[in-house]
Each structure stands twice: as C-alpha cells, then as structure tokens.
Structure 1
Amino acid sequence: MPSATMIEPDLPLAERLFERLRAQSHDGVGMTRDSYGAGEQAAHETMADCARQLGLVVRRDAALNLYLTLPGRRRDLPAVMTGSHLDSVPRGGNYDGAAGVVAGLAVLAGWVRAGATPQRDVVVMGIRAEESAWFPVSYAGSKAAFGLLDAQALQSPRADTGRPLGDHIRDCGGQPELVAAGVPALQATGLDCFVELHIEQGPVLMGAGQPLGVVTGICGSHRYRAARVLGRYAHSGATPRGHRADAVVALAALIDRLQAIWAEMENDGHELTLTFGQVYTDPRQADFSKVPGQVSFSVDIRSRDTATLRLMDEHLLTTARAIATAQGVSFEWGPASGSQPAVMDPALRQALHAAAAGISAGVRDMPSGAGHDSATFANQGVPSAMLFVRNANGSHNPDEAMDMADFAAGARVLGQVLAGRAEVAVAAP
C-alpha cells in the first residue's frame, strides 16, 4: 500500500464549516459560543453532524467533550488525537479554537475520500470550556476528560448566569456526578500523541511574514480574578491629602511599581507577562465628588517557568503590603487560580517542521503566551505539539482574520504529521 502522507485535506468542507459556525454564532458584533451554553452546544452539534456524514464514530464523555474517530486497522493501539476547543470568549472571533477542530475534520475527510485507512484510531476531539472567560477554571473540558476536574471546580459560577459549572454541564446533557468522581474518559497510555492546530493570538507571525509557527512551550498562569483594594470614602473637596485612604491611588501605585518590577525581571532573564485586565470602582458608591473607597481589579501573571510565576506573585503581595501600610488601605485577593506550564514534544516539533518544509511553508519556533488544552495533555504525559496559523488582528476580538491560504498550509502540515504517526495508507488502485 502506498504512502498517504500527501493526501489533500478537504478544504471546501473546512470553508463550509467556518461559514456555518459564523452564521450560528454571530451575536451582532462578534462570535459568542458560550461554554456549556447554546453557542458551544450548537458548534458541537455542527461538528458531530459533519462527522456522521463522513462515517466517523461519534461519542461524548460525561463532560460532553466530543470524540470523532476514524477507526484504525489495529484498534488496540494508542490513538492519534488532534482537535481543540469550540467555545469562544464573548464577542470573539470565528477561528480561535474552532480552526483546530475544522482542520482535523478536513484532514479525515480527505482520507475518507481517498480510501485511506490508518493503522491506529485517529480522533478529532472537540473540547469543552477552554475559555476561562465563562468559568474561573482553566482547561475545564480537557481536565474533565482525564478525570482531573474536582467537585470544587464544578461549583464555580458562570460569569453571566452565576450558576455552577456542574449545573450547566447537566443542563447540556452531561453527567457532572461522574466528572466529580474523577472517572476518566482518556488515559495517557491510550494516546500516541495530541497535536493541536490553533490560530496565533498575537502579532509574531504577521510581523515575520511567516504563515506557521511550531510551539515550543505553553505558559502557565497565576491569577486573582476578584481582587479588591479597600480604602475609605470621603468628600473630595473637604478631605486633605494626608487624611485620605484613596483606593484608586493605592491601586495605581501598585500597578506602577509592578510594571517597574516586571521590567527588572525581564532584564534578569525572566520571561513573563503581567496584566491588570479589569479595574473598576463600585458603581453604587463611586462618584466624581467622592474619594474612592473601593476598587475591584484582576491580576493575570503568565510564564513558562513556575519559579518565575512564584517570584512575580511574591513581588505582587509584598508590594501590596507596603502600599497598604503607607496609604492606610487594605488589599483582598480572593481565590487564586491558574494553570501549569507545559513543554511540547521534540519529536513532534521536528515532524511539524519537516512537513512544513515539504510544502515550502514558512515556519518558526515560538512560545505560546496564551494557554491551550495541549498543556493538559502534555502534563499528563501525552506527547503533544501545537501548530500556530498566522492570524491578523490578534484574538479574543471580532476582527480575527485568518487567511484561508494560511489555514490550508496548516491543515496540510497537520495531515502529514497525523498520517505519519497513524501509519495511514491507501489501497493500491
């Protein structure tokens, strides 16, 4: 049987799937596919319908992760897996996450059309709830698949409804009691590899003029989503500076000092990012004629090095304590959340580079500052890799602009690597 590593993905199918996702997800501004809600649910049904038409085996686990399988000749062998998430942030773009699932289906559709059969199962996974904009839990779907999502996480409230994650899973038809019990749908020993195609969410590939990136590692995070600084409300005209406990001034001092510490850490060789993504006063009490007595804010620290995450967190807390003492305020941090960094598999990275070279596609090694489900797989001992596809205008906004020619290059590279790992072959004519 001849090699099938060069079978062309079904790119017209990919375009149809993207258009269907766009039509069913557009909220008037961008795309909203809410985690364990109507938007994500519709996207999963779209992918399942496509898989059935291709003759793939469709199944879901207790957390409603979706598995679309082309059976292999040796079903006892560890499976080759690809895929990504299908949820989005509110008013996001059409490609973040979804491109990885669509690419996997396009690859398998090409194989089916060519009469190709893999030696081992090849699975496209549609992962639930990767975007932690909805629930304060990192990688909820992929953690649940490995039996790692505990009962406490299932009590996490959704940002818009306030209802627990477990209730939303049940509403969509899942079994949160099995998730809480740690019943795994996936075992590392049952997987040969996991390869995730994803749009780049920053400007590196656009700036370099290259369509593809091979990810070296995925950043972990340390977050305070619901922090507050508490001062004292007072009259803006009648309260002299020395008598104030101004929450806004205290937070401004913290942000300013942490920016300087960030620069110092970078100069010392640390790689990290620090973001205060939400800053707001209490709308019920704040007024232009009041000294602000409360400010709510969030902190997001990211790095591929756990020691760097710990060091920046120490700087954050130490600096806040000093400001609190000096300015007569207090800081409340609320629950901490986060994720572990992950390193991508060297052999898979080499295979992605070789496949890109084979189609003369420009490619570069690069880290991922954003988190991805591949980190869950890698940290469970599954050989994992990520392929970035160039994307204009960043991500988490309605202006994502992946060119289909770049997607085609990524799908071809993905297809070659999956075919090599799964030992795909077509019958001789």
Structure 2
Amino acid sequence: MTEPIAIDRAFAERLFDELAARTGDAPGITRAAYGEGEQIAHDVISREAAALGLARHVDPAGNLYLTYEGRDPSLAAWVVGSHLDSVPHGGNFDGAAGVIAGLCAVRALVEAGIRPRRSITVMAIRAEESNWFPLSYLGSRAALGLLPEESLATPRSDTGVALAEHMRRLGLDPTRVGEGRVHLDPARIHGFIELHIEQGPVLEAADVPIGLVTGISGSFRYRRARILGEWGHSGAVPRGHRHDAVFALADLVTALDRLWGEVLAEGEGATVTFGEVGTDPALHGFSKVPGEVSFCLDVRSLSPACLDRIHAGLMEIVAGIEAARGVRFELGARTGSSPARLDAALRARLAGVAAARGAGHVEMASGAGHDTAVFANAGVPSALVFLRNQNGSHNPHEAIEMADFVVAADVIAHLLARDDNG
C-alpha cells in the first residue's frame, strides 16, 4: 500500500535557507553563472538527490540531471526544473524555486512508495540570467545542441573571462559544447515542466497561488547602443548648430513610446524598456552639450510579427533622428529570443490536477523569458507554472509564501504520479 503524496515543507525551507546562507551577498544573494555561487547551489541539490538515490549526470555545459527511474525506462521521461544562477544581489527564489520544487515532488513520490511508469529527471539548468553572458537561455540551448560555437568566446560581464574558460575552470568540456552535440534529446522528453516565481503582481492581485502560463514573450535587444554627436559649450553653441546626443535620445524614447502605444491600441502585446541610460562621467559636465550617450533597449512580445514591426519602426526612427539632429547611432549587436506558445494539453492536465487538489489558479502570459521557451520551440510539450511572489524579482526582497510553494509542488507531484498521462 502506498502512502499519500505529501510535500515536505521543512525540507524545502531547509534548502532555501542553506542557499541563502551560502550564497548571500548583501544585499541579497549572488549566484554568478559558471561561478562559485551557482556551483554551490548545484552541489547542494546534487547532495540531496544522492540521499534520495537519484541517478546523477552532468552534461559538458554543466547542466545537472537527477533521475528517478520509472517502471518503464524505455518511455520518454518527464523533465522538471529551472535554473540556479541569479542576478547580482538578487533574491533567493528566482530559478531555485523550480529546481527545489522538482526535487520536492520526486521526494514526495519516493516517500509515498510510488514509482511512476515514466522516469522523472530533475534538471538544474546553467546560466539562464543573461546579465552574466549576453546570451539568452545559454544552458538550455547548450543541452539541446543549439548554442553557436562562437558563443564560447563571450566574456562574462564581471570578469571579462570567456565562457569557455569559465567552463574549463569547473571541469566542464566547452569543446564538446561547441560541436553542437545534442545532450538532451527532445524526442526522449515526454514533457518539460518549470516552476518559477511570477516576476510581476498578477497572482498577488488575483489572490491565487499559481498561474499556468500560455506563452512566453520573445525579444530583441541592443545591450550596448550609443548615440554620437558633438561636445560643445552649453552657452556658446546655438540650437541650430548643436549635435546633442541627449536630445537625440529623448526623440528616440518619445517616438518609440508613441509606436508602443499604437501597437497596444491595435490589440498587440509588447513592452519597450530603456534599462540603462548615461553620459560618460569622464567627459560630461554641467556646462557641456553632450556629445555621446549610451543606452540599452529591450523590446518583448509574444508575437514575432509585432517584434518585426517595432524593429522596423526603430530603424525608421533612428534614420529620421540622425538626419534631423546631425548625430550618428551605433546600436551594436542585436540579441534576443523567439516567442514560445506553450502546450495547451499539458496545461489542461495541470489545471485538472490543480482543480482536483483545490489549488486556485489562473491562466496568464509571461512577459519575462524562461528556459521553458527553448524546450517548447524544440517541439517538447512544455508547461510553465508561476508561483505567487509578493515583491517582484531580480531584487533582494523576493518573497514567497511557503504554503503557496507547497501547493505548486503538490500539483506537479500529483501530475507526475499519474500513469494515465500517455
């Protein structure tokens, strides 16, 4: 006779507390991609998986796979997980909650004496936070053989050391990563499930613990853009003779905001963000016409056509400002990611389990990027479960109610336990 499936709240709290203590970096925590903090987190999760008797495997890019073998290992397996890196001085739950939830779900099945037909792999994915390396979904793309070889030369933002060298320092094999080998075959994945804290206020406002995500926005980004004008004296250069980089940036912001409003009015969803803006502290001054300004631009949407439209509009706006202001734009390299529509059938299964377990939930889209998008776009039936979070994310004040975490992990565990899932 099997025991009821029960998520061990104390076990989860112990793991969250250990990660916070060992990767703390006031204010908040720091788990740099391919750095000490991320590796500490991988080691903690590996240790707990070993105690459960799970099989451990690490691919050449450092992604961690912890497998609870099913009754029929020949069947395609479930993969449940998220990432363990963080932004600098971030919160303790972004990413880690998904890995710990997967481990909690498997632990609950083990303790209940339940061995499902399909194997279950808890996956800890490397380097999801692209502030360390300007590459979207680095770890998950490497796992699926989708990371371009030239990516290995990308320097980390804080060290200036190439990705390949950071991998080598951890005993990994960047040469094999660069060959584009598939280490996680989409055909061998029955479904991918990621739990992640919601990074906005929707669930808190709706007063429900979990959200079932319908799609994940894609993006285009210019991370190191600048406008080059001409420095001048603030009192001596008349308006008609100025090549003011800051006024040019103001024109750009205003015009893109206008285009964004038009897009929204027509029923499309998008976000436009200038996350960093600045003049050079070594050159700027109170009485100077600014001759250079740097900025970054992040545009996101669920619609590829919408992204294309905004990008085309951006190019037209830039050309017009260059002609009108006598400045030059250097946008730099364009990066980004593809939007992803998530699997409706898997989402319906999760909704059915949630309803049966009395777990309040809503359907919603994700404006932020997640590794789930890579799996979905590779043809894997994929689901993203959001967990209510009171204080946003990418900040030291991330917060979750452990009761909500238990609800979400419980839903995942009960789905994985079913033998009628194909």
Which interval holds the TM-score relative to the shorter structure?
over 0.9
Residue in structure 2 matched with residue 386 of structure 1 by the alignment: 384
Q: Report the CA distance shift for 1:53/1:324 in structure 2 as closer, same or farther (over 3 A).
A: same
- After the TM superposition, which residues 7-22 of structure 1 pair with which residues of structure 2 at under 5 Å, given as runs? 7-22=5-20
Residue in structure 2 matched with residue 274 of structure 1 by the alignment: 272
Which of 157, 160, 174 aligns to 2:158? It is 160
User: What amino acid is aligned across from residue 390 of structure 2 in structure 1?
Assistant: A
Verify the 8 A CA contact 1:200 1:391 in the aligned structure 2: yes
User: What amino acid is aligned across from residue 76 of structure 1 in structure 2?
Assistant: S
Matched, 1:101 2:99: yes
Distance 2:210 2:18 in 1: 25
Which of 347, 371, 377 aligns to 2:375? It is 377
Secondary structure in structure 2 of the residue aligned to 1:152: helix
Residue in structure 2 matched with residue 297 of structure 1 by the alignment: 295
Count the aligned residue pairs: 422
Residue in structure 1 matched with residue 220 of structure 2 by the alignment: 222
Distance 1:232 1:420 in 2: 67
CA-CA distance at 1:423 after TM superposition: 6.9
Secondary structure in structure 1 of the residue aligned to 2:149: coil
- After the TM superposition, which residues 341-352 of structure 1 pair with which residues of structure 2 at under 5 Å, given as runs? 341-352=339-350
Distance 2:178 2:215 in 1: 29
Residue in structure 2 matched with residue 45 of structure 1 by the alignment: 43
Residue in structure 2 matched with residue 70 of structure 1 by the alignment: 68
TM-score w.r.t. the length of structure 2 is 0.98
Which of 248, 251, 254 aligns to 2:252? It is 254
Residue in structure 1 matched with residue 139 of structure 2 by the alignment: 141
Task: Note the alpha carbon deviations across 1:388-416, whole angstroms, 9 max, x for none.
Answer: 01001111111111110111111111111
- After the TM superposition, which residues 325-404 of structure 1 pair with which residues of structure 2 at under 5 Å, given as runs? 325-404=323-402
CA-CA distance at 1:10 after TM superposition: 2.3
User: What amino acid is aligned across from residue 168 of structure 1 in structure 2?
Assistant: H
CA-CA distance at 1:11 after TM superposition: 2.0
Task: Note the alpha carbon deviations across 1:174-212, whole angstroms, 9 max, x for none.
Answer: 100000001111111111000111110001011111111
TM-score w.r.t. the length of structure 1 is 0.96
Residue in structure 2 matched with residue 413 of structure 1 by the alignment: 411
Distance 1:400 1:161 in 2: 26
- Larger deviation, residues 235-244 vs 257-266: 235-244
Q: Report the CA distance shift for 1:258/1:25 in structure 2 as closer, same or farther (over 3 A).
A: same
Distance 1:138 1:320 in 2: 25
Distance 2:280 2:170 in 1: 34
Distance 1:243 1:419 in 2: 72
Q: Report the CA distance shift for 1:199/1:126 in structure 2 as closer, same or farther (over 3 A).
A: same
CA-CA distance at 1:170 after TM superposition: 1.3
Runs of 4+ in 1 over 4 A off after TM superposition: 421-424
Matched, 1:241 2:239: yes
Verify the 8 A CA contact 1:135 1:156 in the aligned structure 2: yes
User: What amino acid is aligned across from residue 247 of structure 2 in structure 1?
Assistant: V
Verify the 8 A CA contact 1:121 1:422 in the aligned structure 2: no
Secondary structure in structure 2 of the residue aligned to 1:45: helix
Distance 2:154 2:415 in 1: 38
User: What amino acid is aligned across from residue 217 of structure 1 in structure 2?
Assistant: G
Verify the 8 A CA contact 1:120 1:423 in the aligned structure 2: no
Residue in structure 1 matched with residue 170 of structure 2 by the alignment: 172
User: What amino acid is aligned across from residue 209 of structure 2 in structure 1?
Assistant: P
Which of 270, 282, 285 aligns to 1:284? It is 282
Distance 2:127 2:232 in 1: 43
Distance 1:355 1:294 in 2: 56
- Larger deviation, residues 148-157 vs 15-24: 148-157
Verify the 8 A CA contact 2:109 2:417 in the aligned structure 1: no
Distance 1:336 1:175 in 2: 27
Distance 1:307 1:171 in 2: 41
Secondary structure in structure 1 of the residue aligned to 2:414: helix
Distance 2:69 2:130 in 1: 33
Residue in structure 2 matched with residue 79 of structure 1 by the alignment: 77
Secondary structure in structure 1 of the residue aligned to 2:248: helix
Distance 2:300 2:274 in 1: 12
CA-CA distance at 1:273 after TM superposition: 0.5
- Larger deviation, residues 98-107 vs 352-361: 352-361
Distance 1:84 1:196 in 2: 6
CA-CA distance at 1:422 after TM superposition: 8.2
Residue in structure 2 matched with residue 427 of structure 1 by the alignment: none
Task: Note the alpha carbon deviations across 1:109-166, whole angstroms, 9 max, x for none.
Answer: 1111122212121000000000001100000000000111111111111111111111
Distance 2:359 2:111 in 1: 25
User: What amino acid is aligned across from residue 386 of structure 1 in structure 2?
Assistant: L
Distance 1:161 1:272 in 2: 33
Verify the 8 A CA contact 1:84 1:373 in the aligned structure 2: yes
Secondary structure in structure 1 of the residue aligned to 2:418: helix
Verify the 8 A CA contact 2:117 2:419 in the aligned structure 1: no
CA-CA distance at 1:420 after TM superposition: 2.1
- Larger deviation, residues 163-172 vs 194-203: 163-172
Distance 1:245 1:160 in 2: 33
Residue in structure 1 matched with residue 261 of structure 2 by the alignment: 263
Distance 1:301 1:157 in 2: 23
Q: Report the CA distance shift for 1:153/1:63 in structure 2 as closer, same or farther (over 3 A).
A: same
Unmatched segments (≥5 aa) in structure 1: 425-429
User: What amino acid is aligned across from residue 78 of structure 2 in structure 1?
Assistant: V
Secondary structure in structure 2 of the residue aligned to 1:76: coil
Verify the 8 A CA contact 2:114 2:417 in the aligned structure 1: no
Residue in structure 1 matched with residue 115 of structure 2 by the alignment: 117
